[in-house]
Structures are given as C-alpha cells and as structure tokens.
Amino acid sequence: MLDRALALKLLGDMLRVRRFEEKCAELYSAGKIRGFLHLYIGEEAVAAGAMRALEPDDAILATYREHGHALMRGIPAGAVMAEMYGKVEGCSRGRGGSMHIFDARARFYGGSAIVGGGLPLAIGFALADKLMGRPRVTACFFGEGAVAEGEFHESLNLASLWKVPALFLCENNLYAMGTALQRSEANTDLCEKARSYKVAARSVDGMDVLAALDATEQAVAEVRAGGGPQFIEFRTYRFRAHSMFDPELYRSKAEVEQWKKRCPIATFVERLQSEGMLDDARLAAMETEVGDEIAAAVAFAEAGSWEPVEQLTRDVYTARAS
Amino acid sequence: MNDTTKVVRTTYRDALREALREAMRRDGRVFLMGEDVGRYGGSYAVSKGLLEEFGEERIRDTPLSESAFVGAGIGAALNGMLPIVEVMTCNFSLLALDQIVNNAATIRHMSGGQFSIPLVIRMATGAGRQLAAQHSHSFEGWYAHIPGIRIVTPATLEDARGMLWTALMDPDPVIMFENALLYNLEGELAAGAGAVDIDRAAVRRAGADLTLVTYGGSLGKTSRAADLLAEQGVSAEVVDLRTLRPLDMPTVLGSLAKTHRMVIVDEGWKSGSLAAEIMARAMEEAFFELDAPVARVCSAEVPIPYPKHLEDAAIPQVATIVDAALRTVSRHV
C-alpha cells in the first residue's frame, strides 16, 4: 500500500527539480548562467527515489548533471542557484558552477565533470568508513557512458575485492552525449558487467520513482549490512539536449516524444490522482510552493556578490599559520 | 656525547621505511596502499616487513589499477583518513593522472575551500638503471606545473626520514618523488631524526663563485661536481630545492645574490622544464644580479635509451655539470 505522505514528498522532490531546471534553462538563455549546463529533466525519479533511501551520514558523489541530486540532498536552492550564477554565496563559492556543486554539511562531494572520475573516490570514501567501523554508505552516481571508462572497471573490481560499502548508481539515459549505448558497448547489459566483478546488480525502471526508491532501499540495506558493494542500473531518459549546445542530431524527435509519455512526474501525478491521493488543488498548491522557493532562490542569487579578484588564489592550498 | 648527537648508519630506503613505520604508529588514520607494498615488500623494498607489523588492513596490496587506488586515496583522505599511496614508479602514475590533476589538485579550490585532502603519494622517479624509455621518466617537473598539489623530492637521508610525516600533516595533497638511484644511498643519520620542514630549499654546500641549483637524484652528482670544481679553484654553492612546488625562490635568489652566476641541474627534459621555470624567475626577479647567463644541465630531448653509453649521454652527469659550471664562471656580461 502506497504511503500518501511519502508519495507526496517524492512528487514534491521531482517537481522542485523540474521547475528549478526549467528556470535554469531560462536563465541560461538570459545570460545569467554561463558555461555548461546539463539538465536532468526526465531523469528526476532516479535521484528522488535514490536520495530518499540514504541517510544524512552517507556520502554522495555525483556527476556534472547533478542539480537535482544537490537539491534533493537538502542543499538550499538559493545556494545551488547562486553557484550557477558564479556568486560567492554559492555552495562552492561560485568557483565550480553548474558542474561542481559541493556541500560539506550535506556530505555532497561534487559535481565531477570527468566521466567516471568519481568512482575511484567512492572506493576511498567507502574504505575509510570500513576501516573506521562507521556504518555509512557511499553512493556514487554516474551515467552509462562511464561504463566505457577504465575507472568503472578498476573501481568495481576494487570495491568488490575489498568489500567496501559503496553503492554504484548508474543512470542509464541511453546516450553518452550523442553516442548511443549500443554504439559504444559490445555488451549493453550493464548489470552483467557489474556481476562479472561479483558486484550484486539490479536493473530498475528509472522513470518510476517508487521503483527507484524500492531498489535503492534494498541495495542500501545490503551494503549497510556489510555485504559489500551493490550496483543499480536505472533505465531512464533525458528529455532535453545533453547541454545547451547540443542540436540533438543523434536521436529522433519521435523517440524523445515516446519517452516523454513516460515522464516520471506526469505518470506519478496520474497514479496518485487515480488512487485518490492527490487532487488538483493540492497539486496547484505544491506548484505554488515550488515556484515560491525557486523565485526566492533566483532572488538570492541575483542579490549575491562576486568574489573579489583579490581572492582568486585563495584555497589553492590551505592557508598556513606560518 | 648526548642522545641528540648519536648517529646511526642507515640507507635512504631504511630511512623511508622508518618514516612509514613512525607514521603508522603515531596515527591510526594512516594506511599504506599500492602495488606490491605488502607481500612483495614493495617494489624497492621500502615497505618490507610492514605487512607483518601492521597487518593487511593498513598495508594494502592493490590491483594494477593506478587510477582506482590513487582515486581511492583521495576519497579516503576526504573522508577522514591519512592515506599514503605508493605508485610504483612515476612512469605508471600517468595512468592516475586524471585523479591527481582533476581531483586531488582541484577539489579544495573548486569547492570554495570546503575540503582538505591530506594525502601523500609516493613514487620512484628517474633514469640511470638501463630500464629504457618507459621506465626512466622524471616527471616531478611536470607535476610541479600543477597548482593545488605540493611536490617534494627528498635527496638526503634526513629528508627521506623526515619529509613523510610533515607531508601527511599537510592538509593538501603532496607527491613525494624518490629517485630510484637513491634507495641504496648509505650514510649517517641522527638517531633521533624526525620530521623536517617541506617549505624551504637548503644550501647543501656554501660557495662564492656560482650557484648550482638541483634536487633529488641529481644532488649527489652536483655535489661531486662541486668537489671537482673546488679542485680547480671554483667555489660552488649547492642549493637543494627539496620542494619543487611551491618553489622556495628566496633561498635560490639569496644564493644568486651572493654568487651572481647560476647553473641548474634537472633530470627533466630541457624544454618546458622546472629548470626553465627557475631561469625565468631568476630573469624576472633578479636580472641585475646576473653576471652571466644562467645555464642548464638537463636531459637530452630523447626517450631515455637502454644502452648504458647512450643513457649516460642522455642525462645529467658530473662531467657535464662541471663543464657547464666552468663555462658559466668564465663568461661575463
């Protein structure tokens, strides 16, 4: 039986991320956000489900498509938006921008923009917890493109060999930038690759937030119980272009439209409505609340300040007392 | 004689091992990982015996996965540990370059100063053992190009014994380059030797006629060159950089202000080398101190070849240092 309070929270999480990113796209066109901007639109169910299965003490490593993960992990929307603006009030002092969101309090360790680059770090995080006897899990998000990198193979082997409490969360949106999975992988069964390193693996519908939550809860329980690393493939799809510079020559509009019918938010709204858990008034109230939060985040970012150029080299190294 | 003046005979290798042992004993957050550091005892036998003493949780053999275990060191450091990662040689560190450059060096600045990475990466470096092109690189100058990491090059028994602890206590990632020809270096070390600073260059020999600037595996050759120069009436001051990033230019320029002539000895290739950086700084910061153009003794611009005579010709040697020094003292501006 679906818990109504939980269901509404999950819906709220997804709505926040969707509307936040729609605003980001608008702000990008307006020149407020620069550099690369990779939107998660279409994939929200993955982070919404996965993040809710994790504890505050767990560590999160994410990719350059991480705005949603950051918001759902509890980093204030204003700090994330200010980061996108490059303002000093941003969660990384504006130094990282869209691709490098960090927040020590949320135990959110980036925001890595080298595909596969976060996986080796995850081994170290998890190893540290294991050596110190802390019952924590390290959750590492990455896309299916990372599976082609050596880091994926080195890291899954090492995680399994050392039985570290790491959770590998593969967001398979079928395209590494513009290269379809079947054009880059001789074997497109990602779980089989994980299992070849004796890492327990499961594949789940990444457009279904409840399925994402359920799969992650099960995997987290196994990891926390000391069973070693786990791998989850979330089958999902990005509705928007890879970044703001992508003319989408590599996939058909029909394919995108087909996937949009499986929009994780629209389908979940329908389900909750059909089960009598959500009415139009409630949905409108949620939209209003999200809209207000985003408006406040934008205002916060707009009111923010630029880091003084004199601080350019601050924190390249730790300041020494000497 | 009191305790502080007692000396023991030791080697560079044993001094490094003592430093590792001390670090492991002092702090439970310290652990060592790398290829063959445990059962094999370390490719250069530096960690021999440590597995028996500290167990396999803290002396961890890794697969041949440089990127994964260097990255794991970074992750563990971010998560409260004090990891020491041994990359067998700097030649193999190229397989971990992404982790070092894109993660270890960037995360502090890129996150707005939120995170420290108290990681030490040790690796052997240098040519001179007829190991041919893929096992003879000297990449310390390369790594010194990168802001966000510290580069140290212990060249003496004191530094082999003392740099590790200081590097571990540093909140930022430190890469320690150990010239492979130094492991068998033997000599006397104070019985109570311990941590040393990793900020300052050291004047290893005082002189008046010219400054020889060097580091790591070239210090011995440079010191012998200074001996030969002395026989010819040339008084050479020898500066051991010790740390290649950040560079201690005040010590280098202080020596130059005294001698007004400088030769840099650097086993890296000349083009784009650390030696080039020091020359540039001397020109920028001490142009009017110079009585002659600064000279360099670097490696020839070739992959290091296998035959001994060609390898010898490819890397700095005592004779080439002496020649460069004599030319420099004979020139005038």
Phi, psi (degrees; rounded to nearest 5) at B36: 65, 25
Q: Which domain holds residue A193?
A: 4-311
* Cβ–Cβ contact B99 with A under 8 A: yes
Give tens-digit pLDDT for B235-268: 999 999 999 999 999 999 999 999 999 999 999 9
- Label residue B1 by pLDDT band (50, 70, 90): very low
Whether this prediction's pTM lies above 0.95 is answered by yes
Distance between CA B214 and CA B135 in Å, rounded?
Answer: 22
The answer to whether A201 and A167 have CB atoms below 8 angstroms apart is no
Give tens-digit pLDDT for A91-109: 999 999 999 999 999 999 9
Q: Report yes or no on A57 lying in a domain.
A: yes
Tell whether omega for the bond before B305 is within 30 degrees of 0, i.e. cis: no
Q: What CATH number is given to the structural domain containing A112? A: 3.40.50.970
Please report the pLDDT score of residue B4 as a whole number.
61
Q: Report yes or no on A48 lying in a domain.
A: yes
* Cα dihedral across residues A121, A123, A124, A129: positive or negative: positive
Q: Report yes or no on A319 lying in a domain.
A: no
Please report the pLDDT score of residue A1 as a whole number.
77
- Label residue B5 by pLDDT band (50, 70, 90): confident
Q: Report yes or no on A27 lying in a domain.
A: yes
Low-confidence ranges of chain A (pLDDT < 70): 322
- Label residue B58 by pLDDT band (50, 70, 90): very high
Phi, psi (degrees; rounded to nearest 5) at B125: -140, 165
Q: Report yes or no on A322 lying in a domain.
A: no
Q: Report yes or no on A22 lying in a domain.
A: yes
Q: Report yes or no on A318 lying in a domain.
A: no
Q: Report yes or no on A295 lying in a domain.
A: yes
Q: How far is A272 from chain B (nearest CA, A)?
A: 39
DSSP-derived secondary structure for B38-50: STT--TTSTTTTH
Residue of chain B minimizing CA distance to A121: B75
Percentage of chain B lying above the pLDDT 90 cut:
98
Distance between CA B151 and CA A110 in Å, rounded?
Answer: 25
Give tens-digit pLDDT for A277-287: 999 999 999 99
- Label residue B3 by pLDDT band (50, 70, 90): low
Burial of A187 (0-12, 13-18, 19+ CB in 10 A): exposed
How many A-B residue pairs are in contact by the CB < 8 A criterion?
148
Q: What is the enclosing helix (H) or strand (E) of A121?
A: helix A118-132
Residue of chain B minimizing CA distance to A102: B111
Percentage of chain B lying above the pLDDT 70 cut:
98
Is A128 in Cβ contact with B81 (below 8 Å)? Answer: yes
* Domains with residue ranges and CATH for chain B: 10-190 (3.40.50.970), 202-329 (3.40.50.920)
Number of domains in chain A: 1
Neighbours of A179 (CB within 10 A): 14
Please report the pLDDT score of residue A244 as a whole number.
83
* Cβ–Cβ contact B320 with A under 8 A: no
Please report the pLDDT score of residue B331 as a whole number.
80
Least Cα distance to A262 among A217, A209, A214 occurs for: A209
Catalytic residue selected from B135, B137, B267, B311: B135
Neighbours of A301 (CB within 10 A): 25
Q: How far is A113 from chain B (nearest CA, A)?
A: 9
